Amino acid sequence: MILISGNDPIVNRLCTALDSLERPFCRVDHLDADHAWELHATTILLVEPLPRVGDTASASERGALRQLISAANAPGVRSAIIVTPRPDADAELRAIRRSGIPYTIVRPLPVLERADEPNKPVLVARELADAPAHAITAAMLVDAVVGLLDGSACGQTLDIAPPPEITWTELLARVGVTPKPVAGWRARMGRWFGARTFDAAMPPPA
What residue ranges do the domains of the chain occupy?
2-113+134-166
CA dist., res. 155 & res. 84, Å (int): 15
Kind plus residue range of the DSSP H or E element containing 10:
helix 10-20
Cβ-contact 92, 86 below 8 angstroms: yes
**Model pLDDT, residue 23:** 93
Q: Provide the Cα torsion 17, 20, 21, 23; round to 10°.
A: 80
Instruction: Tell me which of 93-97, 105-109, 127-131 is least confident.
Output: 127-131
Share of the chain above pLDDT 70, in %: 78
Report the share of the chain in percent with pLDDT over 90.
45
The answer, yes or no, to whether residue 77 has pLDDT greater than 70, is yes
Q: State the chain's mean pLDDT as an integer.
A: 83
User: Is 80's pLDDT higher than 60?
Assistant: yes
pTM of the model: 0.83
From the options 3.40.50.300, 3.30.70.360, 3.40.50.720, 3.60.70.12, give the CATH code of 2-113+134-166.
3.40.50.720
Using pLDDT thresholds of 50, 70 and 90, give the confidence band for residue 22.
Answer: very high
The values of phi and psi at residue 144, to 5°, are -65, -45
Cα 43 from Cα 55, distance rounded (Å)? 30
Whether the Cβ atoms of residue 105 and residue 79 lie closer than 8 Å to each other: no
Residue 187 in this model has a pLDDT that exceeds 60? no
Highest mean pLDDT among 90-94, 141-145, 179-183: 141-145
CA distance 147 to 112: 20
State the Cα–Cα distance between residues 108 and 141, nearest whole angstrom.
7
Please tell me the distance from the alpha carbon of residue 159 to that of residue 85, in angstroms, as a whole number: 10
Q: Which residue has the higher pLDDT, 153 or 129?
A: 153
